[in-house]
Amino acid sequence: MSVERIEAAGSGELLEGPHWDPATESLYYVDIYSRNLFKYTPETNKCVSAHVDEGWPSVIIPVEGQSNRFLITVNNQLGVVDWDGSACKVSPQIIAEVEGNPAGHRINDAKCDPLGRLWFGSMGPEPQRLHIERNRGTLYNLMHDGSVKSHFDGISIPNGLAWNEDNTLFYYIDSYKYSIDQFEYDQETATISNRKPIFSLRENNIEGIPDGMTIDTDGNLWVAIFDGSCVIKIDPRQPETLLQKIQVPAKQVTSVAWGGPNLDELYVTSANIVIDGVINPGIHHGGLFRITELDARGYPATNAKV
């Protein structure tokens, strides 16, 4: 196993939302606080950014069948941007708003389900870095007709999302629950039910909070641990089963995504947030990392159908 920092990507304050695009063989991700979108291309080892002129983006996902068009979040709205991969500024065209989501709320993690519908969670106001008003967020998804469907509220920090191979289960993280939860999933109606926790960080003595998440073709979940300097691998079919813990040389690990030509490289984003005046020691915080030689691979990420 090898963990390397991708120096060409530089550093950011809150890198999030990694999404591998096989069409361009590139990794797309964001820096929420700097309002930047990124495209990293391993073949050229180049990373290019575009600045969002208004609002905080938390994800960037290619729109299916439309070259250089992307679905992004902008505070508590959804928008599309056209971006040719050059350094520039972009202005999102808003396509949906989260009704009843007050000013100060924003969307955090988001991912498309196997049918290309975006699932996303909102969170409450953040008057200071990571001082978030708890239990103010809601889980939503964007339907193909453009409507926004609400699922449940009371979320503090909405994070990792994943679906199992036959699309009957949905895995989800609310970070301040310190657990990974499972729902039954009805793909046809975009309905979730029967929530239950399947892995608790506290019961397994893991420091930090669970953040972004992905799934591999063996059905195991890979979870970024913020404030824990690691990525963990768990088996959701066997509750409280920790399979592997991989140390990452950044304290605030934020998300993970499979990439590379064979989808066997795990890309890892991180943050370098000064919380209550405490500066993270070391030089790797806020970097983009790649983990190889894992003997695992992922599924192709689903693009947005909007």
For 2-13, write each residue's pLDDT tens digit: 999 999 999 999
Rounded Cα distance between 202 and 207, Å, is 7
The pLDDT value recorded for residue 102 is 75
The pLDDT value recorded for residue 275 is 84
DSSP 3-state assignment of 16?
Answer: strand
Rounded Cα distance between 93 and 95, Å, is 6
Chain center to CA of 163: 14
pLDDT at 140 over 80: yes
The pLDDT value recorded for residue 142 is 97
Say how many C-beta atoms besides its own lie within 10 A of residue 296's C-beta.
18
DSSP 3-state assignment of 177?
Answer: helix
Residues 141-165, mean pLDDT to the nearest whole number: 96
Among residues of the chain, what percentage have pLDDT more than 70?
A: 100
Residues 285-304, mean pLDDT to the nearest whole number: 98
Domain boundaries, given as residue ranges, for the chain: 2-292
For 163-219, write each residue's pLDDT tens digit: 999 999 999 999 999 999 999 999 999 999 999 999 999 999 999 999 999 999 999
Residues 247-275, mean pLDDT to the nearest whole number: 97
Rounded Cα distance between 95 and 254, Å, is 27
When pLDDT is cut at 50, 70 and 90, the band that residue 131 belongs to is confident
Query: How far apart, in Å, are the Cα atoms of 253 and each of 91, 118, 189, 285?
Result: 29, 23, 33, 9
Q: Are strands 230-234 and 221-226 parallel, antiparallel or unpaired?
A: antiparallel
Concerning whether 211 is annotated as a catalytic residue, the answer is yes
Contacts (Cβ under 8 Å, ≥6 apart) of 14: 31, 32, 33, 34, 254, 271, 273
The pLDDT value recorded for residue 220 is 98
The pLDDT value recorded for residue 129 is 76
Active-site residue (options: 181, 211, 227, 264): 211
Rounded Cα distance between 112 and 119, Å, is 6
Question: Regarding predicted confidence, which is higher, 133 or 36?
Answer: 36
Query: What is the residue-averaged pLDDT of the chain?
Result: 96
- Residue at token pair 């920090």: 157
pLDDT at 294 over 80: yes
CB 119 within 8 A of CB 171: no
For 72-117, write each residue's pLDDT tens digit: 999 999 999 999 999 999 999 999 988 777 778 899 999 999 999 9
The pLDDT value recorded for residue 126 is 86
For 41-76, write each residue's pLDDT tens digit: 999 999 999 999 989 999 999 999 999 999 999 999
Rounded Cα distance between 138 and 155, Å, is 6
Considering the four listed CATH numbers 2.30.30.40, 3.30.420.240, 2.120.10.30, 3.40.50.300, the one that applies to the domain covering 2-292 is: 2.120.10.30
Rounded Cα distance between 45 and 150, Å, is 40
